[in-house]
Structure 1
Amino acid sequence: MCLGAMFVCIPIGVLADAIGRKWTTLLTVIPFSIGWLAITFAQNTAMVLVGRFLTGMAGGSFCIVAPLYTSETAQTEIRGTLGAFFQLFITIGILYAQVLGFIFGVKLFCFACLAVPIAFGICYIFQPETPVYLMKKRNKEGTESAFKRLRGKDYDPSGEINSIRAELDRQEALKGEFWPQLKTPQGKKSSLICFMLMFYQQLSGINAVMFYSGAIFVDAGSTINPAYCTIIIGVVQVFATVFATWGVEKLGRKILLMLSDGAMAFSTFLMGIYFLLKEKKMVSDETITGLGWLPLLSLVIFIIAFSFGMGPIPWLASAELFPPAIMARMSSCAGMFNWFLAFLVTIGYAPVSNMAGAFTTFFIFTLVSASGVLFVLFVMPETKGKTFQEIQDELGH
């Protein structure tokens, strides 16, 4: 799945610039549907792998184009909130799959998953193209029509149109659509920030923590069915991400990211201490049993912290910071980097833990998250309440 998502990121950025954000998003319904059908009627392992690869392609594509569509259609005042809704619905989707996976058999579960992209396609086809894309294509009538669809028929879009046009004209003055603008201060700084946020998101240890979640519940002395445990985690993620939809505009991106990274560093440090004591037998078994609540508390803190900051905001940042002319392709590159790191962490976590101990990997995650606080504090600009032009002006200084 990670490989499918990784390989499709670059082509999807080019496609989004060629045919638009709307139609690129709609095209993801095809691999989603074929992938779930392949898994549903799989006769062997190869068909399951093909299905996973195709759904990974669709999911990776969606992670690029959905935040892009949101950022280019939302008003400045609510852009962050709507951007955080992307991660919110990911967590709702995860919970949906966890609950139905517990209730249904394999085939019925796959059909329930197949129904989601089909229903999405039917609803989404009636949505307009983004005004920014239409402006890039110099479709003035289409731009005004899109704004009125999005803001209301009595809305005067002239202010937003002038702001977008000014930024596009400034970029067109560079006489290039990609490399010249990537070499500008705005292009360089936005690339550094977005790629590093993807790095901090994946190297925070989210996949490792989720991998260990079942064992953590057992260590805590829980007698709850493991399936219920995963559902509990899913519910916690949803409610924590709901907070992000509020906080991203009230508190700002930087505050949420620093709080998120700081809390994740604290929680993985506690997990590292627990597994160090356990694996090195530094205390008695009775003491370890008595400390069973510690990894459970750390898990809850980590999931909440990730969900309100490091989960949603890196994807939002990619759709806010890049200059409009290179946004689609550079968001795709950042997305590919994210999925590549997810793949490395997924396949590398167990071997490293077996060789050096789980405590070592959790201490590494602690250092990564702690350094993320400093990076956000000193390098990342606050984008709350700012237009695309204001963001680019700040990046250029």
Structure 2
Amino acid sequence: MMAEDLGQALISEEKERWSVAILATALAALGAVSFGFALGFSSPTLPAMQGSIFHDLKCGDDDDSASVSSSLGSLWSSILNIGGVAGALGGGKIVEAVGRRGALVTAAAPALVVGWAATALSRTAAEVIVARVVVGLGVGLCSSTTPVYIAETAPRRLRGALLSANQLAVTFGIFSIYFVGFSLPHSRREYSCGAHAKSIHPSGWRLVAWIGAGLGAALAVGAAALPETPTWLAGRGKMDAARRALSVLRGGCLEGPEARRELEDLAANAASSKTEERAAIDVFKMMLPYACAPADVDVACRIPLRISLALMLFQQFSGVNAVIFFAGDILGDAGMSNRDLGGVVVMAIQLVMTAVGVPLVDRLGRRTLLIASLSGMAFAATLMGVYFSVRTAPPVALVALVVYISSFAIGLGPLPWSLMAELLPTRARTAASAAATMINWLMSFVITESYASAVIFLTPEGTFFLFAAVCACGVLFVYAYLPETKGVSLDDIERLFARSTTTTPATIDLP
């Protein structure tokens, strides 16, 4: 009994030490909520905006007016990705200069507040499009900075779960905007245009934009209360400040073997930073083919960068946006007539399954979850391709939809972001994370803009068969190249890639 009591006491003490790190993750994840809120904003609000701010108020042909409204709405919706690219690309230097916490407080949160407030106050299409770009700058910086902050502050045994919680926060942001949009009034008000009376939608979307500004303000307050990451402080030779930050994050206690290991890693990081040019890492050199790479390229950085970029590409080209786009048709064929409610149902499934996946990351491991996730998505995409070929058996399509969204939520949704923060070495983490995030946003823009044309050219069934093939290739890539990082310190992961310059990383045993 005494041994059991002692064990319970140790577990309780350990959980108490971890509570501060969990709270820090929750506060930093406000940036991820804002990220999801911005991603989902266009879906429930675009119809109302096309009926008001994007509407051609000049008297004329109704078809021309509708065409202008649709084109402007499409541009406004997709241009968030351009802001995200700029935010991720420019954010690297900001993060290196002022730190992970500092970037959230001084750059990301102000951009979100200004962008959302400008959206709410916009009176013309040009104004709301510019405001959308500013919001994109903020969420682009959040999307690259928040996972890095969590990775550098989380206890080793909780790192996978806390990094997955970042994607849970993104999904919650998307779900919340879908739910708010579903609750918006659908009544219309009339305005007069010469002899014609036209109807436009109410401006409830402005209230939703103010909610976005409130999230940005909450991020500013929450991030201001966070400690800076010990890794960033140690990298600048501020070892005393790094120890104090680590002490805060570990509940005021730096005793025990794990805490001592963290202190040793911080000291090693501080020593190595004196001989390495951190802020000027040339990630574009690392992306070149081996035969074209300069002699001084850091190959040990390039391997994890390429893995991170590949996972981002698989995430975007897996077809998740297409599945969400066709979800209304699938749910409608299954008997659900309300498309808005269908969107809420799809996002609720993703939210629940993302939450289910959070504790599995540190139990089953990253490789296992990603292989299972991509396999499930390949199977479900194949089923949906068959369904759109024959247009029979709607229940089969409904099952495929649930399997696809669930599979994405437990693996390919959160893990590319988590692994980006884990795999990249400290000296390249900021710049390389910015590059990987930039590629993700850029591919999102390309897919958003080209998706409608692809469906026409390939047909819906051909598009889904292509997505199934991409997911199958993803399974092979993860099996061959991704090492398991469950329970491994960031410094040990870095040492793995230093040894893997001539070997496939997945075949090397981690410490």
Above 0.5 in TM-score?
Answer: yes
Displacement of 1:250: 0.4
CA contact (8 A) 1:168 1:324 kept: no
User: CA 1:153–1:168 in structure 2 vs 1: closer, same or farther (change >3 Å)?
Assistant: closer
* Displacement of 1:107: 2.4
Superposition RMSD in Å: 1.8
Deviation at 1:307, TM superposition (A): 0.8
Cα distance in 1 between the residues matched to 2:362 and 2:180: 33
Give 5+ residue unaligned stretches, structure 1.
Answer: 279-287
Structure 1, residues 148-170: CA drift from partner, whole Å, max 9, x if none?
Answer: 11112232454312123325545
Q: Is the 8 A contact 1:2 1:339 kept in 2?
A: yes
| Cα drift, residue 120 of structure 1 | 2.2
- 8 A Cα contact 1:209 1:299, kept in partner: yes
Structure 1 match to 2:336? 222
1:308 to 387, 410, 413: 410
- Separation in structure 1 between the aligned mates of residue 271 and residue 237 of structure 2, nearest angstrom: 11
Q: How many residues align?
A: 385
Say whether the 8 Å CA contact 1:381–1:394 is kept in structure 2. Answer: no
Secondary structure of residue in 2 paired with 1:35: helix
> Equivalent residue for 1:138?
237
1:164 counterpart = 2:263: no
Query: Which secondary structure does the structure 2 equivalent of 1:357 belong to?
Result: helix
**Quick one: distance in 2 between partners of 1:55 and 1:95?**
18
Whole-Å separation in 2 of the counterparts to 1:310 and 1:175: 33
| Aligned equivalent of 1:187 | 301
Q: Partners in 2 of 1:134 and 1:48 — Cα distance? A: 39
Kept in 2, the 8 Å contact 1:186–1:322? The answer is no
The alpha carbon displacement at 1:314 in A equals 0.4
1:188 offset after TM fit, Å? 1.9
Calculate percent identity across the aligned residue pairs.
Answer: 30
Rounded Cα–Cα distance in structure 2 between residues aligned with 1:321 and 1:168: 19
- CA displacement 1:101-133 (0-9 Å, x = unmatched): 222422222222221111221122111100000
Q: In the alignment, which residue of structure 1 is the partner of 2:452?
A: 350
Equivalent residue, structure 1, for 2:321: 207
Superposed CA offset, 1:332-362 (max 9, x none)? 0000001111111111111011122111111
**Contact 2:313–2:440 (8 Å) recurs in 1:** yes
Could you tell me which residue of structure 2 aligns to residue 118 of structure 1?
217
Deviates more, 1:191-200 or 1:51-60: 51-60
Structure possessing the higher relative contact order (Cα contacts under 8 Å, 6 or more residues apart): 1
Q: Given the alignment, which residue of 170, 173, 178 partners 2:281?
A: 178
Given the two structures, how large is their TM-score scaled by the length of structure 2?
0.73
1:317 maps to 419
Given that 2:385 and 2:464 are in contact with CA atoms closer than 8 Å, whether structure 1 keeps it comes out as: yes
Cα drift, residue 196 of structure 1: 0.3
Structure 1 position 186, deviation (Å): 2.1
Corresponding residue of 2:55: none
TM-score, with structure 1 as normaliser? 0.93
Q: Which residue of 2 aligns with 1:392?
A: 494
Instruction: Please show how residues 358-373 of structure 1 align to structure 2 within 5 Å.
Output: 358-373=460-475
The Cα of 1:66 is off from its aligned counterpart by: 0.1
Using the TM superposition, give the Cα deviation of residue 39 of structure 1 relative to its aligned residue in structure 2, in angstroms.
1.5
Structure 2 distance, partners of 1:219, 1:49, is 35
Partner of 1:23: 102
Gaps of 5+ in 2: 1-79, 185-203, 287-296, 501-511
Task: Map Cα deviations across residues 274-296 of structure 1 (whole Å, 9 max, x no partner).
Answer: 11224xxxxxxxxx2xx112222
Alpha-carbon distance in structure 2 between the residues aligned to 1:134 and 1:170: 13
Partner-residue secondary structure (3-state), 1:209: helix
CA distance in structure 1 between the partners assigned to 2:282 and 2:179 by the alignment: 46
CA–CA separation in structure 2 for the residues paired with 1:205 and 1:226: 20
Please state whether the residue corresponding to 1:248 is helix, strand or coil.
Answer: helix
The letter for the 1-side match of 2:323 is V
Q: 1:298 to 1:137 in 2, by over 3 A?
A: same
Report the alpha carbon displacement of residue 197 of structure 1 after superposing the two structures with TM. Answer: 0.2
Q: What is the CA–CA distance in structure 1 between the aligned matches of 2:260 and 2:92, rounded to whole Å?
A: 28
CA pair 143-295 structure 1, distance change in 2 beyond 3 A? same
Query: Given the superposition, is the C-alpha separation of residues 380 and 171 from structure 1 closer, same or farther in structure 2, using an over 3 Å criterion?
Result: farther
Distance 1:385 1:200, change over 3 A: same
Aligned to 2:122: 42
Equivalent in the alignment of 1:87: 167
- Asked if 1:12 corresponds to 2:91, the answer is yes
* One-letter amino acid matched to 1:238: L
Q: Distance in 2 between matches of 1:48 and 1:387?
A: 44
The residue number in structure 2 matching 1:281 is none
CA spacing shift, 1:62–1:189, aligned 2, 3 Å: same
Q: State the secondary structure of the residue aligned to 2:345.
A: helix
For residue 385 of structure 1, give the secondary structure of its aligned residue in structure 2: coil
Task: Tell me the equivalent position of 1:240.
Answer: 353
Structure 1 residue 172 displacement after superposition: 5.3
Q: Residue 328 of structure 2 aligns to which amino acid in structure 1?
A: G
Q: 1:337 to 1:274 in 2, by over 3 A?
A: same
- Partner residue of 1:198? 312
From 313, 323, 329, the counterpart of 2:431: 329
- Of residues 32, 45, 60, the one that matches 2:112 is 32
Structure 1 residues 30 and 319: alpha-carbon distance in aligned structure 2, compared to 1, 3 A threshold: same
Q: Matches of 1:59 and 1:162 in 2, distance apart?
A: 34
Separation in 2, partners of 1:242, 1:360: 32
Partner Cα distance (2:482, 2:269) in 1 = 21
